[in-house]
Structure 1
Amino acid sequence: MSAPPAPPRLLLPHAPALTVSLRGAVLLDTDGEFHHLPLAAASRRARDECPMLCHATAVAARLGIEPFACLDLLELFAFVRPARFCLPTVKGLAESLGLARPADAEDEAELLIRAARTLLQEVGERTLADTAARASDTRSAAWAMARAGWGWGTSVLAALGVTGDAGRGSGLRVWERLPEWSEHAPEPPSGSIAVDPIEARQRLDRLLGSDSEQRPAQADYASAAAAAFQPREQAGEPRLVLAEAGTGTGKTLGYIAPASVWAEKNGAPVWISTYTRNLQRQLDNELDRLYPDPGTKARKVVVRKGRENYLCLLNLEEQVMRNRPQEAVASGLMARWALATRDGDMVGGDFPAWLGDILGRARTLGLADRRGECIFSACPHYSRCYIERAVRKARRADIVIANHALVMIQAAMGGLDDGATPTRYVFDEGHHVFDAADGAFSAHLSGLEGIEVRRWLLGAEEGSGKSRARGLKRRAEDLLGLAAEAPNALDAALAAAHALPATGWQNRLQDGAPVNAAERFLALVRQQVYARTQGADSPYSLETECRPPIDGLLEAAAELAHALGKLGAPLQILARVLGQCLDDDAAELDTNIRSRIEGLTRSIERRALLPIAGWKAMLEELIEGRSPTADGVDRYVDWFSVERIDGRDFDVGMHRHWIDPTLPFAKTVAEPAHGLLITSATLRDGESDMGWLAAERRSGAIHLPSPPVRAAMASPFDYPNQTRVLVVSDVRKDDLNQVAAAYRELFLAAGGGGLGLFTAISRLKAVHKRIAEPLDEAGLPLYAQHIDALDTATLVDIFRAEEESCLLGTDAVRDGVDVPGRSLRLIVFDRVPWPRPDILHKHRRNAFGGKAYDDMIARLRLKQAFGRLVRRAGDHGVFVLLDPMMPSRLHGAFPPGVAIRKVGLAEAVAETRAFLGLGLQPE
């Protein structure tokens, strides 16, 4: 029995505190003296003195050096407050800990020490108040991390009162202490009781509360949405509602109202699907209104994502049991999070994204089941698995919050994890249905896709480094005795898998030394791309048409198609004979074995047979020289590509996309459903019938036998008085010095709160390089996607929290930002966001109306970007486009009554300063 802990004591590390800006650094030494240092001097001292700081990766990047030994306050925060939100900045730490916000760099350096003291006091006090079991977990996790050399280890152990080996224990073996989920009887089929529009309005009133402001458009929206929750009359003819709700309408609660009524009346979940993680979080928060009791909400609401988003406990166990000192800190913090997390969701849930940045993605996010290697009920942690728990909770929930990709893949597969698909859907961010379907229903025969299938089949091979990959043999070995043909089929499949790309394939392709059928085909694809593409020496990705093929390519395609046939045939046998056991041995199989067989056969189908069949079909049509058509109409586009990052090849392959991906969406998702609501603030391209036709084409409604219900609610905002739209006429968009100067002056005029949007990453980086220091000198922090060592969601969170900051980003920022208030008061777009003129777009342009299709896409992108500017009644802001070639036919992207004015840069700067400085001033 271990000795009782000693009294806790505060022992701060004897280390300086360091903060770094773009122009220099401030170091507060251990004697309490401040040093203002240039970056070069700060780099030297940082490497020598192991300072306290916030976000080591970002600090190292600003210093221009490799990560170094330091005391990162974010690591301490993650230990003391696992699964709790904190912006990864000094100001973010201050706000999370309730400390005074720092006014300057010296304040920030001092705050690091105060934050360390606060966190160490908190962990000591909290552990004293915890149960014995939780306190023991905390002490033993700290002990294991300290023993491996964690910089905060001595201080944390002192705060916990741990001396010597008193903290030794099993604190990292958290899988032993997680609660088990339990099985329930199968859920009965859903009912078909309608939701009356009056019921939807009444539920909305309850959600809003008696003292909320009345928004008639919101109530009208809820009534219209109720039409998606009527019983259908014919199989294959769902009740479809297309509803455009202008920003500020309150569409989230508007559709939650009828959805929740339907779920309660019919005993089945409604799946609400979003495109962005940000909206998933927002939805989850909004549902607190419906279920204010956390226990009730935990039963009624489930956030559902693909398996690759959740922590795999077997992966965590393998990392912990390796007992490598360099992994101990990550293992300890992951163990702390695993005990505190709501649902094990590592992507957009309560896992702090910055933890992956500072600890390494392989030791954090890499612990998810990203390669489909799950061994299901053979896993010792199966009964505690986060994924299996979420699957079971979703069956009994009222509301399931999912994402477009998961919903579409689930429908295409006939159910991902349990063979079940919902009957009622809400697709929020419905303007992205086309793009999501494009990704979900495409096929890619590439080096990276091929090596993933090979790893799934063969597991870790010699020369594959530190891979934890578990092959099909390990997942299936104790099931093989259930069917006589299974062992031979597995052996044949594993032998045939060696035709797929192997580790090091990229180097062999460049060296002209492929070693198997897939690599020989890919080498010739790469040769054709480089031979046919203009600008092959550029740093960007390259592509070319498949026809006419270069010499030898069709022979290589035939060889690969034959090899894929040899791989697919035994896998089909294995899946069939194992599945047959479910019938033949039904009386003898226990629940776990049945579950494993079902899971394994679904995985074989999804992870191997489906991609192999798609690849084989693509190759055969290439060989035969026929177009991928249906009913005499081209349905697909095929092309070859070399994907590049900064001029370096990282993937080579053949691609197939639907020209109209809403066709498979309509067939696999919409037709089997009983009701769907597809909604967005930017669903239509204009307000006429042609605008609705665009919405029906982009949502797949035109492929259904019955016309949709159309509903449109205008935004309540006074856009003509709350906004300005300026097109700058005297900045050359091809001169990045001029473009950067425009961004700089506009951001300065707005005093921060500026969002800079770009159509190309290279232009973003060039502008950032030119304006970061001038903005920093003016006290306006500049953050940038693709530059800062932070994920996009975290960058947006920081931008939202800091009114004086500015943010540069591309598409993901344009579509995913929800920043009400003064934090976003200026949007600057570098040029008209025309669609990229690639091979896929060329075919879609021909199919969907030529130049009119280009205009529609540009208008919808501008409309979506402008919609970020005003999120609530008191907001006002300026939208600036730095493109003098903006045609007047795109003006329909902006709300009626908003004047689009062409001005010079000087006038745009002056108007921005006046409008945002004086506030809302009607002309």
Structure 2
Amino acid sequence: MTPLPHPALHASHAGIWVATADGTRSVSRGEAIRIAADTPVILLNAALVGQRLGYAELSGLDLLELFAFLHPARFAVPTPKGLARATGLTPPTRDADVAAFLLEATAALLAVPGGDWPEREGAWTAAQSLMRLRWPWAPALADRLAKPETNERWLFTRLPEWEENAPRPAPRTITIPPGDAEARLVDLTGHGAEERVGQRAYAAAATAAFAPRTSRDAPNLVLAEAGTGIGKTLGYLAPASLWAERAGGAVWISTYTKALQRQLAHETTRLFPDAVVRKQKVVTRKGRENYLCLLNLEDALQGGFAGRAAILAHLVARWAAYSADGDMVGGDLPGWLPTLFRRNGPTALTDRRGECVYAGCPHYRTCFIERAARASAEADVVIANHALVMVNAARGRELATRPTRYVFDEGHHLFDAADSMFATALTGQETIELRRWILGPEAGGRGRRRGLAARLLDVASYDEAGARAIQDAVDAARALASDGWLARLAEGQPFGAIETLLAAVRGLTYARAEQPGDAGYGLETELAEPTPELIDAAAPAAAALDALVRPLVTLGRRLEAVLAEAPDWLDSAARARVEGAIASVGWRADTVAAWLSLLARVGGPVSPDFVDWLAVDRIEGREYDIGLHRHWLDPTRPFAEIVLKPAHGALVTSATLTGGGDWDSAEARVGAPHLARAAARFEAVSPFDYATNAEVLVVTDVKRGDLAALANAYARLIVAAGGGTLGLFTAIRRLRGVHGRIADRLAREGLPLHAQHVDPIDTGTLVDIFRDDPAASLLGTDALRDGVDVPGSSLRLVVMEGVPWPKPSVLHAARRLAGGGSAYDDRIVRARLAQAFGRLIRRADDKGAFVMLSAAMPSRLLTAFPPGVVVSRVTLDEAVARVGQRLVGRLSLTPGIGQEAQLDA
């Protein structure tokens, strides 16, 4: 096959290059845009290159899309170095060589169909569909793909069906004898492994969470803080696997970040080395909204999507045929794939609205979500996340198989997860979502979405009262906010009781919250002393919601009656469908009931259990939501009631459970005070030599608010460290400002810079890129402070632009008042500093520095850092010199991209 006659384009902060068969040349931004507009160009990550050129509509032959077609369910770091590794090519060492490399990579990828290709099945059929959609790569693939001798099976006939099993018996009551968990730990770590005293003690302490419960609503709760390096994952897997094996039950291990879920799944290979056995014994579970919905995908493939969104649907279909579990968020779908299509369609391929028809779906027997649910019922270990655990406990369908034993890893995040889960928001976006769930598509609507009546039509025809309840709910839902509500509110012309309420909320919030010089971000104010306009609007809104919740409750009861009456047509599939509808309707009814409770607060008595406020959510001055909000003052109360009390035992663990504070505050943030039985406490100090391998530098001469000085400090520190820097910010605006000032400067030094909220790449992929290149640096906010695990030389410097004080808000003010004032703030800051420092030293041989660019760092907060770590207040010049002395001597770097770091002997 002849090579493609297209040029390759590469743009970075260091320059722009175009390569053809005749060679590579540097071009200006304007010329690059002209070339891309005139002829198809080969590039790597069109969204990122378009941003670098300032040409958002840039398109072409994106090598990442070609890779996703050829190798679905395979991951590659989306950089020249990562693509070189995936294709077996030599990576370019300079930015100027990348464009020519892209031509070489194109030839390598297009040669794949001619060789031994494990993902061949379905490719020819998909290529024909993509040809009709004018996908740029389709003509080249059509020339290289031979038509199969027999018709290829369609995706929906290739996926395996799950099997229905008998209900699992309740776990047996067993006791793990002393020493057994330690013996299992030896098996997991290997008999020749170095014995770690802290890990053995941790495993023994964790065993108490699996002891038999002695009284109702009093689980065996163990709080265990294990410093980095203790090996807590295997420490709790030892007793957990023993209990699951001997009791015949499932242990749910809950995490907060997707990175730890992946790490846990990897660690279970020690428990079950055989892949087939491991697939049966270990299951990763996430919320429904993470999995591909096959019915939504079918609709997209049959014309529900158009343009680029349709191309994405076909690439996702290719992936679905080879995916291990159908997880689109953090699973084996490359995180960079949806970002290539910007806003075109990824979220529409999952079930984010609770519209599943369960057994009424033609793909029910092959559904990824249902398969995961059934697999978890038979598994020994279920790897979940905090949000899913709480959702399942509060409104899950799997009551008969509710877990009795939990391990909450990253336990310091339980408070935040519960805060989000048990909150109430009566906003325009929430009400319009409920309207769509009930009514389905209205005038001008498109897609597969169906309303409540359509989803339950055949069931309702059996029960007259149920059918009447559905119609009453449909009639009442018309009072909810509808399309165009934000524009009507801005024009002072709300329609209906709910929009009138939101208009009153908007008016009062602007009147009380906006200050001179406001930056255009969100506004909020307490729900106190409401105006007559708000009080007058609340009553009709409450009446409208009451008219909606009544038929929803009635419908739920009628569906339960259908189950009880068990008509002839109610086979196992129909029963599953009705049970699913009961759970979905009950969830929506509970939501509306919570809204009514919140509205009762308008002009009514204050509840000491809740914090209520009004908010106008904005991004750079553009409003996107308006409404009333309610959070628990202490969200661990419902968490303890709904999750912990029904359990028999739970282990809550983290490397920073106390967050540099005390055990009482740690217990308060996980719900322990709300249980009848006191929690057991365990602490194991990290074995790492922090005093030798790390230092903390507080820079005293970077003026707060001086963006130019802040950017200069970041640039000098990153250059001194030779890259490998994680820069943490407390405000997105400052992050963008610093990135804009230093990215080109660092590129000239051969030091790539990536940034959350700037680069059009998902956070997980940004971390993968950062981990893959020791010369790269990464800027980000909270998500990177808590969720980055980059051991080795790729992360050797952490720089924070300021003390991470809590953001002032109505909710924070209430909790601060209840939690001891400034002491409450200090606990939060210590926990954040401990988490940020924890990114630095991940292995015994790691070395690094932690720099705080704030002269106002209070000495009382320094207890957040491990004992023995030297903390010095220095000037920026001194900090730069000390970072260079400590870090650069460890690395031998070759300038340019794709650098490899070598630890000095």
TM-score with structure 2 length normalisation?
Answer: 0.96
2:514 partner letter = Q
Between 1:589-598 and 1:437-446, the stretch displaced more is 589-598
Secondary structure at 1:747's aligned position in 2? helix
Of 25, 28, 44, the residue aligned with 2:16 is 25
Of 507, 524, 534, the residue aligned with 1:553 is 534
Of 489, 497, 500, the residue aligned with 1:509 is 489
Of 472, 475, 491, the residue aligned with 2:471 is 491
Q: Distance in 2 between matches of 1:231 and 1:569?
A: 42
State the partner residue of 2:31.
41
Structure 2 residue 517 is the aligned partner of structure 1 residue 527: no
String of CA shifts for 1:831-880, please: whole Å, max 9, x gaps: 11111121101110111111111111101100110010000011000000
State the partner residue of 2:896.
none
Following superposition of structure 1 onto structure 2, how do residues 799-810 of structure 1 map, counting pairs within 5 Å? 799-810=770-781
Contact persistence 1:859–1:893 (CA under 8 A): yes
Of 329, 334, 355, the residue aligned with 1:347 is 329
Structure 2 residue 351 is the aligned partner of structure 1 residue 366: no
State the partner residue of 2:131.
146
State the partner residue of 2:525.
544
Between 1:766-775 and 1:584-593, the stretch displaced more is 584-593
State the partner residue of 1:711.
682
Structure 2 residue 61 is the aligned partner of structure 1 residue 82: no
Of 730, 733, 740, the residue aligned with 2:704 is 733
Secondary structure at 1:577's aligned position in 2? helix
Q: Distance in 2 between matches of 1:99 and 1:898?
A: 44
Q: Distance in 2 between matches of 1:408 and 1:782?
A: 38
Of 388, 391, 396, the residue aligned with 1:406 is 388
Q: Distance in 1 between matches of 2:694 and 2:797?
A: 10
Q: Distance in 2 between matches of 1:582 and 1:109?
A: 64
State the partner residue of 2:239.
258
Structure 2 residue 638 is the aligned partner of structure 1 residue 657: no
State the partner residue of 1:302.
283
Offset of residue 197 of structure 1: 4.2
Offset of residue 366 of structure 1: 2.3
State the partner residue of 1:425.
406
Of 208, 212, 217, the residue aligned with 1:236 is 217
Of 598, 602, 606, the residue aligned with 1:627 is 606
RMSD (CA atoms): 1.7
Of 362, 373, 384, the residue aligned with 1:380 is 362
Contact persistence 1:18–1:109 (CA under 8 A): yes
Between 1:103-112 and 1:840-849, the stretch displaced more is 103-112
Q: Distance in 2 between matches of 1:123 and 1:807?
A: 36
Contact persistence 1:424–1:675 (CA under 8 A): yes
Q: Distance in 2 between matches of 1:467 and 1:517?
A: 28
Q: Distance in 1 between matches of 2:208 and 2:835?
A: 26
Offset of residue 305 of structure 1: 0.7
Contact persistence 1:242–1:677 (CA under 8 A): yes
1:546 partner letter = L
Q: Distance in 1 between matches of 2:658 and 2:307?
A: 56
1:679 partner letter = T
String of CA shifts for 1:277-310, please: whole Å, max 9, x gaps: 1111111111112112111111111110111110
Secondary structure at 1:676's aligned position in 2? strand
Q: Extract unaligned runs of 5+ from structure 1.
A: 1-9, 629-633
State the partner residue of 2:868.
897
Contact persistence 1:685–1:694 (CA under 8 A): no
Following superposition of structure 1 onto structure 2, how do residues 820-859 of structure 1 map, counting pairs within 5 Å? 820-859=791-830
Q: Distance in 2 between matches of 1:552 and 1:43?
A: 54
Following superposition of structure 1 onto structure 2, how do residues 185-334 of structure 1 map, counting pairs within 5 Å? 185-322=166-303, 324=306, 326-334=308-316
State the partner residue of 1:455.
436
Secondary structure at 1:340's aligned position in 2? coil
Secondary structure at 1:621's aligned position in 2? coil
String of CA shifts for 1:786-825, please: whole Å, max 9, x gaps: 0100011110111011100011000000000000011100
Q: Distance in 2 between matches of 1:360 and 1:905?
A: 40
Following superposition of structure 1 onto structure 2, how do residues 720-869 of structure 1 map, counting pairs within 5 Å? 720-869=691-840
State the partner residue of 1:482.
462
1:458 partner letter = L
Structure 2 residue 621 is the aligned partner of structure 1 residue 647: yes
Q: Extract unaligned runs of 5+ from structure 2.
A: 892-902
Contact persistence 2:168–2:401 (CA under 8 A): no
1:627 partner letter = V
Q: Judging changes above 3 Å, is the alpha-carbon distance between structure 1 residues 217 and 487 closer, same or farther for their aligned structure 2 residues? A: same
Contact persistence 2:309–2:344 (CA under 8 A): no
Contact persistence 1:334–1:364 (CA under 8 A): no
State the partner residue of 2:899.
none
State the partner residue of 1:60.
50
2:622 partner letter = R
2:512 partner letter = R
String of CA shifts for 1:528-557, please: whole Å, max 9, x gaps: 000001327422110001121123211111
Contact persistence 1:144–1:168 (CA under 8 A): no
Contact persistence 1:143–1:167 (CA under 8 A): no
String of CA shifts for 1:580-601, please: whole Å, max 9, x gaps: 1111126652111111111001
Identity %: 49
State the partner residue of 1:137.
122
Q: Judging changes above 3 Å, is the alpha-carbon distance between structure 1 residues 328 and 846 closer, same or farther for their aligned structure 2 residues? A: closer
Q: Judging changes above 3 Å, is the alpha-carbon distance between structure 1 residues 371 and 83 closer, same or farther for their aligned structure 2 residues? A: same
Contact persistence 1:733–1:830 (CA under 8 A): no
Of 63, 82, 87, the residue aligned with 1:92 is 82
Offset of residue 136 of structure 1: 5.1
Structure 2 residue 826 is the aligned partner of structure 1 residue 873: no
TM-score with structure 1 length normalisation?
Answer: 0.94
Q: Distance in 1 between matches of 2:58 and 2:887?
A: 43
Contact persistence 1:417–1:599 (CA under 8 A): no
Contact persistence 2:308–2:341 (CA under 8 A): no
How many residues get paired?
890
Secondary structure at 1:822's aligned position in 2? coil
Secondary structure at 2:111's aligned position in 1? helix
Secondary structure at 2:115's aligned position in 1? helix
Q: Distance in 2 between matches of 1:86 and 1:167?
A: 31
Q: Judging changes above 3 Å, is the alpha-carbon distance between structure 1 residues 191 and 12 closer, same or farther for their aligned structure 2 residues? A: farther
Secondary structure at 2:529's aligned position in 1? coil
Contact persistence 1:11–1:155 (CA under 8 A): no
Q: Distance in 2 between matches of 1:763 and 1:277?
A: 27
Offset of residue 892 of structure 1: 0.4
Contact persistence 2:23–2:100 (CA under 8 A): no
String of CA shifts for 1:598-641, please: whole Å, max 9, x gaps: 100110011x1011000001101224x2012xxxxx11000000
